[in-house]
Structure 1
Amino acid sequence: MDKICKRILEKIEIQDFFDRISPLNTADFNSVLLKLFLLRTAKSSPQKVLHTFRENRFVAPGSFDPIKLLQLELELLSMTSKAGITNKLLSPVAPIGSCSVFGCVNQNNVLSAVRNVEVLSDPSNILAIMLANDILNNQIDHTRCTHYATTTRVVRGQKWEGENSYAHFGIFCIVSTAKDKGSYLCEKELLKHHLQFYDNLVQRRYHRKMTIVLRRRTGYTAYEDFFEEMYSVIKEVFPGTPVSVDLKSENNNYYKGINFKIYVQKDNEQIEIGDGGFVDWISKMTRSKKNRCLISGLGLERLLLL
């Protein structure tokens, strides 16, 4: 237990407070939180709300032109529609644990809320949840590739440093799934679809070439062979695209087999605009190891910097 929690328990003189509260069912737990927030806000005032606005980094407005940002989102979603990708409009909140339960982030880096939800911090998780739900409800033909995309703002608890760093920012992402066909044919098809979309975006909108950095990850039984297969298909499909590799076989509890990063050059600087890779989220939710999932995303504000 951390020092802050120990101090709180000593102050309220209930040493088993967390052990008593955490086992409550969802409805009762939410009732406790609602009551606590009601009591807290009852003691607040308009001046205190203004003070919170000034001091809380999570509510600070962004500095980018909202018209340019919305125009970019419209262009991206128009491109996905033409590429056979289904666009989804997400809620600003997600099921509690939608990131941390999959081992992606610590729950402390997510804004947890009442009523069993959290503020959206990663749309790729939600799109994967939607795909898993549609698979189990037989709403998609899982023998073929299915692609969902969205643009949204997210809020994250990490404190970012540097210019144009905010607790909230815009993300575009694509999440795709299909059933394993053997010989990594499914993974090759998904990977080509994602990278072809980004290659088209960079050439069409910015009249430049993207650079790809591939990182080898564990997670596949023959992960070294898997990486070589993915690398080969990228070199075949994108012969004029610079591709570099990082062969350190890192297990980061996130990507499986391969992780790619996309860079675009501006002046003399290579700017990272996005990344992606394979994850096991859909296979876990559907309890089928044959269900593959590829996620990728771009930072909207990073694109506006180009």
Structure 2
Amino acid sequence: MPSKIVHRIERELGVAGLAEALAVRLPASDLRSLLLEVYQLRARAAKESAALAQAERDALVAPSSVDARDFAAFDLAAYEVAEEFDALDLSPVCPFGASSRLGGTHQNNLLTTIRNVEGLGDSTIAMALEAARRRSSADLIRLCSSHRVIRLQPFDAPGLTPHFRLFAMVTAGRDRGAWAFETQHLREHVRVYLNLFRVLEAAGFSIERPLVEISDMGAIEAVLEEAGVTHEDIRQNVRAHWFGGSERFLKERGIDLPTEMEHRLLNETVVEPLRAEFPEAEFRVNQARLEGLGYYRGFALRISPQAPDGHRYPVADGGFTDWTARLLSNQKERLLISGIGSELVCKKYRYAA
């Protein structure tokens, strides 16, 4: 349904059904030509002073507050520990509709262009497309990339910006049965991040006592369905950048989910092997996680190290999705995605010079 703003525009222009005509009746190539002409005319009327004014007030076009040398140090360490992954330098744009169709992101929260592409809001989307393309010639695909992404949803948490740098990884392959693919590569992604923290410690970062949480999102979803909680309830009330959102949501509805529990498969195949390898980290199976429910399809990870200010920030996050299964029309396809906010790490975990 058209928004109130669209109704007003159509009324003021005296063209009923304008939005539908442009979206449905007008061929995509004609719409692109029309919009190119419109913006060319607007650009001719633009003033230099307006460009400067926008640069001064608009966070969307402002540079990062992080020193680029800190990003370089982070990326050098990340690529070093992710040596098993093919490193990509991604395009700044991806196919139009990819993020909304695969990741469920509202199109209003993406930077849509008139060239039938959109600004990259999630680098794992682009890597999932590349992994699906490569799967015809390889049994196992591992990709990683450091990229600045742009997201246009309103941020009400201090320090968050509409564009930020993210180091991400994806692993794609075929189901081997008995959760063997899932547990092996979940361990692998967690291992990369914990080794990264060790390397960063030697490069001037303070990253202490990382808390690694593993969750079985399918099991959580089943419990919430029995309690009458829908995906829309969670989508409206829980956000990844609203720290503590899961706990508040569950408390308000009187739902008791275990923040720490025994999960034989995850404990034996993921937690215990990693605990022996990384004694400096804390591990738990968290079945009270709601962030990413409906987005991740299966096991998920989250890592929250302690920063110099004493707080823990969930800097690394990931889980299994059905993206390559949908792209390749094969339910046996498996895809693990994960990422770490290098912007947040450089802001919160870097020692002051």
**Which deviations, in whole Å up to 9, do the C-alpha atoms of 1:228-274 show, x marking residues without a partner?**
52343222212244223432485833111222210111242212211
Residue from 41, 44, 47 that aligns with 2:46: 44
Partner of 1:298: 340
The residue aligned with 1:66 is 68
Tell me which residue corresponds to 2:272: 236
Which residue of structure 2 lines up, in the alignment, with residue 270 of structure 1? 312
1:196 offset after TM fit, Å? 1.0
Q: Deviations over 1:166-217 (max 9, x none)?
A: 2111000001111001111111111111011111112232274421123332
Higher mean alpha-carbon deviation, 194-203 vs 21-30, is at 21-30
Q: Which residue of 1 is the match for residue 325 of structure 2? A: 283
Runs of 4+ in 1 over 4 A off after TM superposition: 219-223, 248-251
TM-score (norm 1): 0.89
> Which structure has greater strand proportion?
1
Distance, in Å, in 2 between the alignment partners of 1:12 and 1:299 is 45
2:293 counterpart of 1:252: yes
Q: Which amino acid aligns with 2:5?
A: I
Partner in structure 1 of residue 204 of structure 2 = none
Q: Does the CA contact (< 8 Å) of 1:177 and 1:294 recur in 2? A: yes
SS of 1:270's partner is coil
Matched with 1:160 is 155
Deviation at residue 4 of structure 1 after TM alignment: 1.4
Quote the Cα distance in structure 1 between the aligned partners of 2:264 and 2:53: 55
Deviation at 1:162, TM superposition (A): 4.4
Partner amino acid for 1:186? F
Deviation at 1:67, TM superposition (A): 1.5
Q: Tell me, in whole angstroms, the C-alpha distance in 1 between the residues paired with 2:285 and 2:221.
A: 20
| Further displaced range: 283-292 or 248-257 | 248-257
Residue 89 of structure 1 deviates from its aligned partner by 0.6
> Which 5+ residue runs of structure 1 have no aligned equivalent?
none
Q: Show the counterpart of 1:112.
A: 112
Aligned counterparts, 1:136-155, within 5 A = 138-139=136-137, 141-142=138-139, 145-155=140-150
Instruction: Work out the CA distance in 1 between the residues paired with 2:30 and 2:86.
Output: 38
Letter in 2 for 1:39: L
Q: CA deviation at 1:285?
A: 0.2
Structural mapping, 1:68-147, within 5 Å: 68-81=70-83, 84-135=84-135, 138-139=136-137, 141-142=138-139, 145-147=140-142
CA contact (8 A) 1:216 1:248 kept: no
CA change 1:219–1:130 in 2 (3 A) is: farther
AA aligned to 1:2 is S
Checking the alignment, whether the CA contact within 8 Å between 1:278 and 1:294 is kept in structure 2 is yes
RMSD: 2.4
1:154 alignment partner, SS class: strand
Matches of 2:198 and 2:81, distance apart in 1: 13
The yes-or-no answer on 1:182 pairing with 2:224 is: no
Higher mean alpha-carbon deviation, 20-29 vs 38-47, is at 20-29
Matched to 1:43, the amino acid is A
Q: Percent identity?
A: 26
Partner Cα separation in structure 2 for residue 163 and residue 150 of structure 1: 26
**Residues paired across the two proteins, number:** 297
The aligned residue for residue 212 of structure 1 is 212
Question: Relative to structure 1, is the Cα distance of residues 96 and 78 closer, same or farther in structure 2, using a 3 angstrom cutoff?
Answer: same
Query: Deviations for 1:64-103, whole angstroms, at most 9, x for unmatched residues?
Result: 111111222122123222xx11000101111111211124
1:33 maps to which residue? 35
Contact 1:203/1:209 (<8 A) preserved: no
